[in-house]
Structure 1
Amino acid sequence: MPELYPAGEPYDHGMLDVGDGNRVYWEVSGNPKGKPALNVHGGPGGGFSPTPRPSAFDPSRYRIIRFDQRGCGRSTPHASDPATSMRYNTTHHLIADMELLRTHLGIERWMLFGGSWGTRADPRLRPAVSGPGVGDRPGVPDHRSSLGNRLAVSRRRPVFP
């Protein structure tokens, strides 16, 4: 079973205007000089709990970035509002939002890590996984990989771009 680390309080957070009337909530915890890791939550409609939870990342070694995707969690507008259009809430928009957040935070390269939907590494995400801003470990482990199996125990699977 993978080791889980105690959750730390965010040392930075904000709302990022991603266009089309959407603002995504983001927060950063861990080591400000650590290796950046973006944690992608499940969905659709999910979001991160406002209460910090144990992490698969050692906060002394990683700069841990979490964000609530469009329409989710603390992002606005929320998908539960009947007036909210889902026209601008697509995988393409999700990838663009992640890139905008990466640039906003001044990060050149990062790892992607997810739970639930965030673990699926939808084939439409693979071009982004091999793009210029992703980590230095190409490939996406599938559910049969030993690393994937070990981390699935904690209900999370990594995406190492």
Structure 2
Amino acid sequence: MPSLTDFTARTIDGTDKPLSDYAGQVVLVVNTASQCGFTPQYAGLERLHQTYGDEGFAVLGFPCNQFGGQEPGTEDEIAAFCETSFGVTFPMFAKVDVNGSDADPLFEWLKSEKGGLLGDRIKWNFTKFLVGRDGQVIERYAPQTDPADLTEDIEAALQA
């Protein structure tokens, strides 16, 4: 059975990062966008990262331009925006597709593990997947779910 640690992703600065680096951690994978109504969630995601990072938790952000063209920038522009606008310190990755024939393999796997209201398809930016220490998907959250509303599930996953 595949797990998060079986995948590699390109970081926002262009290097390949094996997600096995997050083995044994609780991880929140989020498809992000800089010009979305949900973009202020970056601040909440950063708070989660700061609050639980020392306990073995990480947020992984994956910019995506598939929804309303709301992530048109280059990786450099996205990284600068996230840092200057929201103080993002959690790992950001290169822009990916999350749906369709060019969907990133990580997101294909995440969607196959936890479908949403529209089946496996990701509906919009800021869809979130919580992955447990065992590398398996625990839960999928809708774009409108505020990061602060995940604290109970994150704490439970950290205790498991």
Do they fold alike, i.e. is TM over 0.5? Answer: no
Kindly name which structure, 1 or 2, has the bigger radius of gyration based on alpha carbons: 1
Structure number with higher helix proportion: 2
| Structure of greater relative contact order (alpha carbons < 8 Å, 6+ residues apart) | 2
The two structures have a TM-score, normalised by structure 1, of: 0.31
The two structures have a TM-score, normalised by structure 2, of: 0.32
Structure number with higher strand proportion: 1
